[in-house]
Amino acid sequence: MLDDSFHVFDTTLRDGAQREGVNLTVADKLAIAKLLDEFGVGFIEGGWPGANPKDTEFFQRAQTELTLEHAQLTAFGATRRAGVRAADDPQVAALRESGAPVVTLVAKSDDRHVELALRTTLQENLEMIADTVSHLRDSGRRVFLDCEHFFDGYRHNPDYALSVVRTAAEAGAAAVVLCDTNGGMLPADIARVVTEVGERTGARLGIHAQDDTGCAVANTLAAVEAGATHVQCTANGYGERVGNANLFSVVPALVLKHGREVLPEGRLREMTRVSQAIAEIVNIAPATHQPYVGTSAFAHKAGLHASAIKVDPDLYQHTDPALVGNDMRMLVSDMAGRASIELKAKELGFDLGGDRELLGRVVDRVKSMELAGYSFEAADASLELLLREELGRPVRYFEVESWRTLVERRADGTTMSEATVKLHVKGERVIATGEGNGPVNALDRALRSAMEGVYTALADVELSDYKVRILEGTSGTDAVTRVLVGSTDGHGGWTTVGVGENVIDASWIALEQAVTYGLLRQGYEQ
């Protein structure tokens, strides 16, 4: 179990949930809390009990439905109202009754906010802080205090901002968190202010950074370098406006770059899985270029990079992707050289290292196809089929004689598409038709209808994604089109690519390869 010398505090369920487009149910919040606990954070801020029914229900259900191994559940709320004792304030009562062992209070630390927004005196604000912190401490709660707008307040009236920090610490706050609420600070200023506040107050300090300047992670790390021992972050950087300091960038930086043990042993390897799982719950596509956990975080495209990686992966990687649960990927494109192709082929299970002529042939073919509009970066299945052809082991489960599609606009206003395919399967000529809500759907159904009698496992193969792109430099109805088709058989997924003079032609190429690769995965003999 980790000691109390450093706090990783997650506020995804409160601050992160303020991101535009995010609307978490109570079940969502419980599921995310379990994932964060699996990752090993020390504190999970669950929301503001009493402020809305959803957060109140979350804390009620958490008492019986949420068993945490590493984290402590934290309730968020404000200091008592002016003129009311903390013991008599209903909002403070909701914090006590939440069942959370830890409470985070937010307080004004900018004198202008005290007088203009809170509409009370500077002295009364200090008394509100002291009374609420002391009351909750006497009630058996551990208390953190968030100093809202601290850096702006410190710039305007440093003496008052410091008095807020001292008051909270003297009342028993376990950490006083300096908040860059507007997200306007830069790392050098963060480091300077945190150093000065630590020296002048002696309080244990934390940092809460918003990302409005794109510096939330850097600001958080600068604060740690300056003495902060409590960091507040959100999963994947979710949060209001442009977001908060990203938990999955701050933590690996602390562990891998600073050598701090801020997670339980072995938990860092769960980071990519947890990041992607949370993204699925909030219904936001995982950011492919996110540091450490993105699918492109350790993806290499340039031929020069691939040549070096072939010798030693550390030459073009700042850390081992396995440490954060991610993988290195080689991307094959028109920028590929022999090393890129060789490493990608090895990733797909083919050793091309001893055949320079073959490597050169594959490189030339890939570059030629990319020039025509193909893209193999996201279409490993198509690339594998290409490699098999160049190795003299082409995959052919059927031969295409012809195909066609018809689109009929009916009198009642409905549109129906019909497709006919003529194939040779296992020496037999097969003609099949299919109807669908579009020509591509009709082609897919006709192709399956023609083959499912022989290859029964096709029933398990489904299309999971379909993307169309009109290629740059072309326009109008005769534009060259690229289609990516995603498929799954319930045990895994694959992507194929087709390029054609129109969307139907490109779609057929991608569909044909999708079915071929699916049968290959099923282990069918040709």
- Give 334's pLDDT tier (boundaries 50, 70, 90): very low
Whether the predicted pLDDT of 331 surpasses 60: no
The pLDDT value given to residue 313? 59
From the CA atom positions of the chain, what is the Rg in Å?
A: 29
DSSP for residue 86: G
- Give 316's pLDDT tier (boundaries 50, 70, 90): low
Whether the predicted pLDDT of 72 surpasses 60: yes
The CA distance from 90 to 84, in Å, is 10
DSSP result, 450-495: HHTTT-GGGGG-EEEEEEEEEPTT--GGG--EEEEEEEE-SS-EEE
What is the mean predicted confidence (pLDDT) over 323-335? 65
The CA distance from 267 to 263, in Å, is 6
The CA distance from 506 to 488, in Å, is 20
Lowest mean pLDDT among 46-55, 95-104, 344-353, 493-502: 344-353
Q: List CB contacts of 236: < 8 A, sequence separation 6 or more.
A: 246, 247, 248, 275, 278, 279, 284, 286, 287, 290
DSSP lists the bridge partners of residue 78 as 106
| Answer CATH for 7-282 from 1.10.3720.10, 3.20.20.70, 3.40.50.261, 3.50.50.60 | 3.20.20.70
Question: Which comes out higher in pLDDT, residue 377 or 110?
Answer: 110
- Measured CA to CA in angstroms, residue 444 lies from 328, 383, 483, 493, 522 at distances of 33, 21, 14, 17, 19
Percentage of the chain lying above the pLDDT 70 cut: 91
Whether the predicted pLDDT of 15 surpasses 90: yes
Cβ distance 243 to 266 under 8 Å? no
- Looking at the chain, the number of H-run helices and the number of E-run strands are 17, 16
- Reply yes or no on domain 398-454 having CATH 3.40.50.1370: no
What is the mean predicted confidence (pLDDT) over 124-140? 95
Cα dihedral: 340, 343, 346, 350 (round 10): 40
Shared fold status for 7-282 and 398-454: no
Whether the predicted pLDDT of 524 surpasses 90: no
The pLDDT value given to residue 335? 47
What is the mean predicted confidence (pLDDT) over 455-468? 86
Most confident of the following: 209-223, 276-290, 374-388: 209-223
The pLDDT value given to residue 408? 87
The pLDDT value given to residue 329? 62
What is the mean predicted confidence (pLDDT) over 170-192? 96
Whether the predicted pLDDT of 417 surpasses 50: yes
Whether the predicted pLDDT of 186 surpasses 50: yes
Q: List CB contacts of 201: < 8 A, sequence separation 6 or more.
A: 162, 165, 166, 169, 176
The pLDDT value given to residue 478? 56
Whether the predicted pLDDT of 418 surpasses 70: yes
Cβ distance 385 to 348 under 8 Å? no
Closest-CA residue to 307 (of 344, 340, 351) = 340
The CA distance from 58 to 52, in Å, is 10
The pLDDT value given to residue 476? 53
Residue whose token pair is 């990608």: 344
The pLDDT value given to residue 315? 62
Lowest mean pLDDT among 11-20, 296-305, 501-510: 296-305
The pLDDT value given to residue 311? 53
Percentage of the chain lying above the pLDDT 90 cut: 53
What are the residue boundaries of the structural domains of the chain, listed by start? 7-282, 299-370, 372-395+461-526, 398-454
Whether the predicted pLDDT of 42 surpasses 90: yes
Cβ distance 288 to 296 under 8 Å? yes
Lowest mean pLDDT among 140-154, 283-297, 426-440, 499-513: 283-297
What is the amino acid identity at position 293? V
The pLDDT value given to residue 352? 73
Whether the predicted pLDDT of 471 surpasses 80: no
Question: Which comes out higher in pLDDT, residue 282 or 238?
Answer: 238
Whether the predicted pLDDT of 90 surpasses 80: yes
The pLDDT value given to residue 411? 84
The CA distance from 468 to 232, in Å, is 41
- 504: part of which helix (H) or strand (E)? helix 503-521
Lowest mean pLDDT among 176-180, 344-348, 356-360, 508-512: 344-348
The CA distance from 301 to 330, in Å, is 6
The pLDDT value given to residue 301? 62
Angle between helix 187-201 and helix 158-171 axes, rounded to 10 deg: 60
Lowest mean pLDDT among 65-74, 280-289, 486-495, 512-521: 280-289
The pLDDT value given to residue 224? 97
Q: Is 44 exposed, middle or buried (0-12, 13-18, 19+ CB in 10 A)?
A: buried
Rounded to the nearest integer, the mean pLDDT of the chain is 87
The CA distance from 466 to 486, in Å, is 6
Residue 36 token pair: 């964060």
Q: Is 399 exposed, middle or buried (0-12, 13-18, 19+ CB in 10 A)?
A: exposed
Closest-CA residue to 290 (of 208, 211, 223) = 211
Each residue of 404-431: b (16+ CB within 10 Å) or e? ebeeeeeeeeeeebbbbbbbebeeeebe
Class of domain 372-395+461-526: alpha beta
- 422: part of which helix (H) or strand (E)? strand 415-425
Whether the predicted pLDDT of 463 surpasses 80: yes
Each residue of 305-344: b (16+ CB within 10 Å) or e? bbbbbbeeeeebbebebeebbbebbbbbbeebbbbbbbbb
Cβ distance 70 to 294 under 8 Å? no
